[in-house]
Structure 1
Amino acid sequence: MFFVIADKMLSLYICTHTERDMRKEGQYAEVKNIVLLALPQVQLLDIAGPLDVFTAASRFLSSDSYDGGYHVYLVSGTSEKTICSGSGMPLLCSHTIYDIDFPIDTLLVAGTTLCVLDEISPDIYHYLQNIRSEVRRLGSVCVGAFVLAKAGLLDGKQVTTHWKFADTLQKSYPKLEVNVNPFFICDKPIYTSGGVSSGMDLALALLEEDFGKPLATEVARHLVLHLKRSGMQSQFGNALPEYEMMSPLTKDVRDLLKDKLGETITIEYIAESLNMSIRNFSRVFVKESGMPPGKFLEKMRLDQAKNMLEYTDMSVDMIADKCGFSNSVSLSRVFLKNISISPAQYRKAFKTTE
């Protein structure tokens, strides 16, 4: 028995010290240069979140007498080193895209407002295209995915972005496959993350990829984060795009149905109400909304059910009836299919308390 325990302790000692020796002498000894690319009106958390993950990892590594780690650079996507963030706080960058003088391991484009993307210099897209083959990983936080997409770097890739803008990204760049559910997606060498705080989920995943799960777990605990967050991004948003982003026909359908969701609704009724033939309505609606009318109706009912679960004390059975589902089982199936949790679990997570 003594020899068995001693043998296990020796094996643990060898594994632990071998990992440390590999860090000091092997493939992990090189410092990895991380670039966080900032554009005007950048969201602070898109920058600060990943920055804290990478710098915390470097501190832990240095405390273990390890010479490697990360060197994180905040780089301006303009010719000016000072960038004004979306919250009004100025950010002083160490470099701009015009004067980078060091090799880049990983570059992450931070999110900003969509209107800014139409105003930035084409140089940013040329820069990203030129360095694509020189970096090990390219990624984005939030709507930074739009920048990579416009540069032509996401074609054929599965990507994600903020749930609010996922449909816009898909329609604007049909060569991508946008999946709104995950907090981040790896389709090497491209890494994209969802809305705002998802940049920290992505940074932890990159850390785990570089230095292993123990260090990533240690950093996550230090920052009071889950290493792998449960749930999915789509649980936080609406099933349908924002009203302002819908086409005129899609808005008309939504306005027509919003107070009738508890009733039986047919495609014949919708087409007739809009003075269109069924065939023409179906064709035009799919083209403008990106989904069949029946799917749109289901998502409308799902959004209403989510709202009622959040703001009322109605039973799930009553909500199912008022939203046009045949019963609570049918409602649960739609919840599980779309956001992978039951109505009761959704209410527990998002119920508004007074």
Structure 2
Amino acid sequence: MFFVIADKELSLYICTYTERDMKKEAEHAGKKNIVLLALPQVQLLDIAGPWDVFTSANRFLNSGREESGYHVHLVSGTSEKIICSGSGMPLSCSYTIYDIDFPVDTLLVAGTALSVLDEISPDVYYYLQNITSQIRRLGSVCVGAFVLAKAGLLDGRQVTTHWKFADVLRKSYPKLEVNVNPFFICDKPIYTSGGVSSGMDLALALLEEDFGKALAAEVACHLVLHLKRPGMQSQFGNALPEYETMSPFTKQVRDLLKDKLGKTITVEYIAESLNMSARNFSRVFVKESGLTPGRFLEKMRLDQARNMLEYTDMSIEIIADKCGFNSGVSLRRLFLKNISLTPAQYRKTFKRTE
């Protein structure tokens, strides 16, 4: 549990008292110490979601095996115990990275705003680098993967993060194997999870790893969650990166094609429109976007089809034609390949209502 500050002095007193009592109980009961590392502008659900999974597990365990369970700690990544969340809600942490005095079993770095990553103290990265060899598991929720990456702890590993920032992570840290599809990835002893609520998917997986599927399923039912959520992150985000993150050259190509997706488009046509040779255009485009022109065009068409399925009542055949596919069968094949849903299933799940 973390505390919202209504009265600063009272909140700090309650938090200190509770932490002292819980710590003593944990030391005697042999509970695993879970640290949720909070940074300025932290996403509330990145903290609250995993917290509720672990503490809910305690309620079920305490009815039988009181020696088991978790002791969950909210730890500040600054020298201050008061952290302001991204929503403006202040959080009171029991510890900071400078005064932790207990052995850590599992540490999860909660997500924060990308804009504040450069303002994080170097001490956070030193702390993570030093603690890695002393703990059983290290992980991240959402944009927390950027913190682990900057600390040099993800090189050569399979990782995930929020679908919206996967391409930024991939370009910023080319030694990482970034996969936007899973809700979480285990590359032991490192665990990374996707956007926001994916932290709960990860926490349930860690719980199952520790105490078995039966308890994890019980907690999932209690919290009205899927033990194993169907689908993947890519169902929620665009196939292409956000327009704002594209290079100027990639934006120029995207703007050129956006109203022509229903027509036949060749590399030669794009190159000629930009006064370039086809060979030189393809080379520059791959360097600028990380995609071949053909793959980029396919993703543009996929995004347009998704948008039309969400916002219009056009038939799938008409949508396929307007997006440049030969038939509804071709569109269906592309949907299954990229998001594991048929166009009809996608529309049923994501159709916008007035």
Secondary structure at the aligned position of 1:132 is classed as helix
Give the residue type in structure 1 aligned to 2:37.
Answer: L
Alignment map for 1:301-316 (pairs within 5 Å): 301-316=301-316
Q: Deviations over 1:129-179 (max 9, x none)?
A: 011100100000001000000000001100000000001101111111000
Secondary structure at the aligned position of 2:124 is classed as helix
Distance 1:94 1:159 in 2: 29
The corresponding residue for 1:272 is 272
Cα displacement (A) at 1:30: 2.9
Q: Deviations over 1:75-115 (max 9, x none)?
A: 00011110000000000000001111000000000000111
Give the residue type in structure 1 aligned to 2:84.
Answer: C
Alignment map for 1:75-154 (pairs within 5 Å): 75-154=75-154
Alignment map for 1:1-354 (pairs within 5 Å): 30-354=30-354
Cα displacement (A) at 1:276: 1.5
Distance 1:67 1:142 in 2: 32
Give the residue type in structure 1 aligned to 2:340.
Answer: S
Give the residue type in structure 1 aligned to 2:96.
Answer: T
Secondary structure at the aligned position of 1:133 is classed as helix
Higher Rg: 1
Number of equivalences = 326
Distance 1:65 1:217 in 2: 17
Distance 1:280 1:289 in 2: 14
After the TM superposition, which parts of structure 1 deviate over 3 Å for at least 4 consecutive aligned residues?
none
* Aligned residues: CA RMSD: 0.8
The corresponding residue for 2:24 is none
Distance 1:231 1:221 in 2: 19
Distance 2:177 2:303 in 1: 23
Unaligned runs of 5+ in 2: 1-28
Give the residue type in structure 2 aligned to 1:224.
Answer: V
Distance 2:303 2:350 in 1: 13
Cα displacement (A) at 1:278: 1.3
Cα displacement (A) at 1:59: 1.2
Distance 1:136 1:281 in 2: 48
Secondary structure at the aligned position of 1:37 is classed as strand
Give the residue type in structure 2 aligned to 1:312.
Answer: T
Distance 1:299 1:274 in 2: 21
Cα displacement (A) at 1:272: 1.1
Normalising to structure 2: TM-score of the pair? 0.91
Distance 1:65 1:240 in 2: 49
Distance 1:129 1:232 in 2: 30
Normalising to structure 1: TM-score of the pair? 0.91
Distance 1:186 1:325 in 2: 37
Cα displacement (A) at 1:67: 1.8
Distance 2:166 2:195 in 1: 10
Secondary structure at the aligned position of 1:118 is classed as helix
Cα displacement (A) at 1:66: 2.0
Cα displacement (A) at 1:288: 1.2
Give the residue type in structure 1 aligned to 2:169.
Answer: L
Give the residue type in structure 1 aligned to 2:216.
Answer: A
Q: Deviations over 1:253-282 (max 9, x none)?
A: 110000000000000111111112211111
Distance 1:276 1:125 in 2: 45
Cα displacement (A) at 1:65: 4.4
Secondary structure at the aligned position of 1:238 is classed as coil
The corresponding residue for 1:6 is none
